[in-house]
Amino acid sequence: MDLIDKTVRDVKSLKIQGASKVREKSVKALVKVTLASKAKTEAIFRKDFLKNSKKLFDARPTEPALRTALRIFKKSISNKKLNIVEMKNIIKKINNTYENDRKKAMQLMTKYGAELIQKDSTILTICHSHAVVDVLIKAKKNIKKVYCMETRPLYQGRITAKELAAAGIDVTLIVDNAANTVMKQCNYFFSGADAFLADGDIVNKIGTNQISSLCKQYDVLHYAITSTHKFEPASFFGKDEPIEQRDQKELGNKIFKVKILNPAFDRTDSDTVEGIICEKGVFPPQVLASKLFDELNLDEHEKDFLKL
């Protein structure tokens, strides 16, 4: 099994999990395979690059951050006059620049997020987000307690709990249905976002929408932490973000005559989200979506964003 196929398998099985890690590992595989290419002609080189990109692009349906990265690499070698050596050099340069930019983006998100958290705050989290973990660790002097929903059926919330506890934060792990029980004690609900869309809605781990709705009832502030690379530009042109349906085996043995629905994500209405924390700052969701529409000149470049 080659590196691209192995990476696709690991992404699908959640051996590689979390949008930032999916993006990082997938790009690393693509760059390594592309730079090692033995293609004899520019046409074959491009064909192989696009074939491998498409495999990674399709590995999971709800991965805008990875799609954005792949689009950036594709655009970098779109000039048909480039030879193979030139294309390899460009990809190498883009890879170095891109990874440095992502690290800077993560540092800025961590800074902006940590600055929001007031002293003696109690926080609720869902699933596992590297961005959320980094923000909470940076702000730990202002944190009284964190409740981590275990996030069934694969329990990614336990990862968050372990990482925060290791950093010296007072952490309590709760079953997902106990969120309402602790909500009255909470000041903030922090989630990641696997995608955010033209109307400001966010797509995140299943259960996020339910908790965000509760936040409104209890005056708890829901902030989603995500890079602008998780914005899906195609959503401005009527393309909906697909919700991945996971294997029913994740819920245990099949029950006779019982159907199983196992969505990995849900869509949270922008009206229940106080703000999106990204590398550009903290914005109301619809304001950030409008800002990115303008910055990307989407009214002029629709076709560029609807294809790989």
36-to-45, 71, 302 alpha-carbon distances in Å = 11, 20, 33
Which of 273, 279, 270, 266 lies closest to 230 in space, CA to CA?
279
Mean pLDDT of the region 82-98 = 93
Residues of the chain with CATH 3.40.50.10470: 118-305
Share of the chain above pLDDT 90, in %: 70
Q: How far apart are CA 83 and CA 87, in angstroms?
A: 6
Q: Which residues are catalytic?
A: 127, 194
Q: Are 72 and 240 in contact (CB under 8 A)?
A: no
Which of 162, 155, 113, 158 lies closest to 136 in space, CA to CA?
113
Confidence of residue 308 (pLDDT cuts 50, 70, 90): very low
Q: Which CATH architecture has domain 3-106?
A: Up-down Bundle (1.20)
Q: What is the pLDDT of residue 275?
A: 98
Cα dihedral: 298, 46, 48, 98 (round 10)? -50
3 state DSSP class of 265: strand
Helix then strand then coil, in percent of the chain rounded to 5, is 55, 15, 35
Please give the structure tokens belonging to residue 193. 């976002």
Domain at 118-305, CATH from 3.30.565.10, 3.40.50.300, 3.40.50.10470, 3.90.1150.10: 3.40.50.10470
82-to-33, 52, 133, 178, 295 alpha-carbon distances in Å = 19, 19, 42, 58, 28
Contacts of 78 (CB under 8 A, 6+ apart): none
Mean pLDDT of the region 116-126 = 98
Please give the structure tokens belonging to residue 277. 């924390």
Residues of the chain with CATH 1.20.120.420: 3-106
Tokens 């007072």 locate to: 170
Contacts of 166 (CB under 8 A, 6+ apart): none
Which of 272, 257, 159 lies closest to 209 in space, CA to CA?
272
pTM (2 d.p.): 0.87
Q: H or E segment at 147? A: strand 143-149
Mean pLDDT of the region 169-180 = 97
Lowest mean pLDDT among 58-62, 88-92, 177-181: 58-62
* Angle in degrees, 0-180, between the axes of helices 64-76 and 84-116, rounded to the nearest 10: 140
Q: H or E segment at 204? A: strand 202-205
> What is the full DSSP assignment across 181-207?
HHGGG-SEEEE--SEE-TTS-EEEETT
Tens digit of pLDDT for each residue in 207-256?
999 999 999 999 999 999 999 989 988 888 888 888 989 888 888 877 88
Q: In the chain, what is the straight-line distance between the N-terminal and C-terminal CA atoms, in Å?
A: 24
Tokens 């902006």 locate to: 112
Q: How far apart are CA 78 and CA 55, in angstroms?
A: 19
Mean pLDDT of the region 20-24 = 86
